[in-house]
């Protein structure tokens, strides 16, 4: 058996290529929309990708299953669990098989058995893998998707918070409790292969280790330690992070079938040709702060780029990028991974000029002095849990992802001081505020960390 995992650090997403070396067939599990890494690996190792499968309808990225089916004839193995709202609407156009509890299928001499493991979503399934070609007669591991992670379990509140399905958080948590009981019957030596690692918003405390064993998780994963359902539900629902806005769109597109990727090369343009598109400057925050075009927003191309693009960019509006030409292809792939396909052009940062805006970065001690003046208004753009653990007295909490929806509550006649935990998110917030007409914006350098380091007052509600 051939086993290869793939990790997208922008989305903290794990996917897998499993190949039968005797038959040359291969399967991709939970494929990303960019299927090039799977094709390159399959070609190098002498496999033909004949199938693709998913553990559930994903909310945090666009699936590559349709790309594999459409362009390469891969057979799709997808869940048929859950009610009518959780059925794949596009698979009837491709060779496919619907899976439920107890379903089995094989890729060459590699055998897969399906477990229905709802909780994160109603249709969620897991796959037990048995390498029959290697002489095994019982499973060696389980692909758990967003059900079981290293050190955590999938959050059950996304349907309610991101997709607007009222009242599903508690029922999902109860399903998660029942799904965990299924695993208690399985061998402890089973390897656990999840769909996400640390950094994903699909759980609250995912481990950074890419895989584990069931025995280890039973012993150290908090979710296995709580044996009483009511206590488990309370603990699971407490402290879940805010789900990015784009999650609802991902559920919709993955259910209906993501659009097939276009092949056209993005044209180089001037800013005057941007029209009504939102202009996203992908340069580092310090470069943007030192000088940028009015009306542009800064989402630096780093490990959190995709997350904040999903929070802050509209699927209904064209996008023009200010981007280093050498990074352009990677930036576009990151946007395409969450369905932001509408990039209509790019501008080379070397060609920026003319009248440039700036914003100032200030130290914590100066921020404290300024906040004593009624003409300054402080905004904390951190998550709710960060705010709850301690915040600057007098600051107003508006999480970065919902900042565009709260602009009317911010006084335009005052100077704005923006801060987060370290200064990175608030830099994005400062750019967003400037693009919306708040010209007197200051960013707290080092954020709340720097404030605490200076021994300045902290408030807890």
Give the pLDDT score at 201: 84
Question: Is the separation of the CB atoms in 101 and 116 below 8 Å?
Answer: yes
What gap in Å lies between CA 453 and CA 445, rounded to an integer? 12
The residues annotated with a catalytic role in the active site are 420
The CATH topology of domain 2-256 is Metallo-beta-lactamase; Chain A (3.60.15)
Q: What is the DSSP string of 142-163?
A: EEEETTEETTEE--S-HHHHTS
pLDDT at residue 461 in the model: 77
How is domain 271-351 classified at the architecture level of CATH?
3-Layer(aba) Sandwich (3.40)
- CA–CA separation, 160 and 166 (whole Å): 5
Contacts of 136 (CB under 8 A, 6+ apart): 130
What's the pLDDT at 264?
86
- Please report the pLDDT score of residue 202 as a whole number: 85
Q: What is the mean pLDDT of each run of 10 residues along the chain (461 residues)?
A: 96 97 98 98 98 96 98 98 92 98 98 97 97 95 97 91 78 97 95 94 87 97 97 94 90 95 91 95 96 96 96 97 97 97 96 86 97 96 95 97 96 96 98 95 98 95 77
Query: How long is the chain?
Result: 461
pLDDT at 353 (0 to 100) = 80
The confidence score (pLDDT) of residue 243 equals 87
The domain locations on the chain are 2-256, 271-351, 360-453
CATH number of 360-453: 3.40.250.10
Q: What are the beta bridge partners of residue 196?
A: 13
The single residue listed with the structure tokens 């780093």 is: 302
Say if 271-351 and 360-453 have the same CATH topology.
yes
């Amino acid at each position: 058996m051939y086993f290869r995992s793939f990790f997208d650090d922008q989305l903290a997403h794990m996917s897998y290529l499993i190949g039968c070396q005797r038959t040359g067939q291969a399967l991709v599990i939970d494929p990303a929309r960019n299927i090039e890494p799977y094709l390159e690996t399959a070609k190098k190792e002498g496999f033909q990708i004949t199938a693709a499968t998913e553990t559930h309808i994903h909310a945090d990225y666009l699936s590559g299953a349709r790309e594999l089916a459409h362009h390469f004839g891969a057979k799709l193995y997808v869940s048929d669990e859950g009610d009518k709202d959780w059925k794949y609407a596009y698979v009837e156009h491709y060779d496919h098989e619907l899976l439920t509890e107890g379903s089995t299928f094989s890729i060459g001499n590699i055998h897969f058995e399906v477990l229905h493991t709802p909780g994160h979503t109603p249709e969620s399934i897991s796959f037990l893998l048995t390498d029959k070609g290697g002489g095994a007669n019982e499973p060696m591991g389980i692909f758990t998707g967003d059900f079981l992670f290293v050190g955590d379990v999938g959050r059950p509140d996304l349907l309610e918070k991101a997709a607007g399905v009222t009242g599903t958080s508690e029922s999902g948590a109860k399903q998660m409790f029942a799904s965990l009981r299924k695993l208690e019957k399985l061998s402890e030596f089973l390897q656990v292969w999840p769909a996400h690692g640390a950094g994903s918003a699909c759980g609250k405390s995912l481990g950074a280790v890419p895989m584990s064993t069931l025995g280890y998780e039973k012993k150290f994963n908090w979710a296995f330690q709580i044996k009483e359902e009511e206590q488990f539900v309370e603990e699971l629902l407490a402290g879940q992070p805010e789900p990015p806005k784009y999650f609802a769109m991902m559920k919709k597109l993955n259910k209906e079938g993501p659009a097939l990727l276009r092949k056209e090369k993005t044209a180089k343009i001037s800013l005057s040709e941007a029209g009504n598109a939102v202009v996203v400057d992908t340069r580092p925050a310090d470069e943007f702060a030192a000088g940028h075009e009015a009306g542009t927003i800064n989402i630096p191309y780093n490990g959190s780029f995709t997350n904040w693009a999903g929070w802050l960019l509209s699927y209904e509006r064209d996008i023009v990028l200010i981007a280093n030409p050498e990074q352009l292809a990677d930036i576009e792939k990151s946007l395409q991974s969450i369905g932001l396909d509408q990039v209509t052009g790019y501008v080379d940062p070397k060609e920026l000029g003319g009248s440039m805006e700036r914003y100032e970065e200030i130290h914590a001690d100066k921020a404290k002095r300024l906040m004593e003046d009624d003409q300054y208004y402080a905004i904390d753009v951190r998550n709710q849990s960060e705010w709850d653990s301690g915040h600057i007295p007098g600051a107003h909490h508006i999480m970065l992802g919902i900042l565009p929806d709260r602009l009317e509550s911010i006084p335009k006649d005052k100077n704005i001081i923006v801060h987060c935990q370290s200064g990175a998110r608030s830099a994005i917030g400062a750019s967003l505020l400037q693009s919306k007409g708040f010209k007197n914006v200051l960013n707290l350098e080092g954020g709340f960390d720097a404030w605490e380091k200076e021994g300045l007052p902290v408030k807890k509600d």
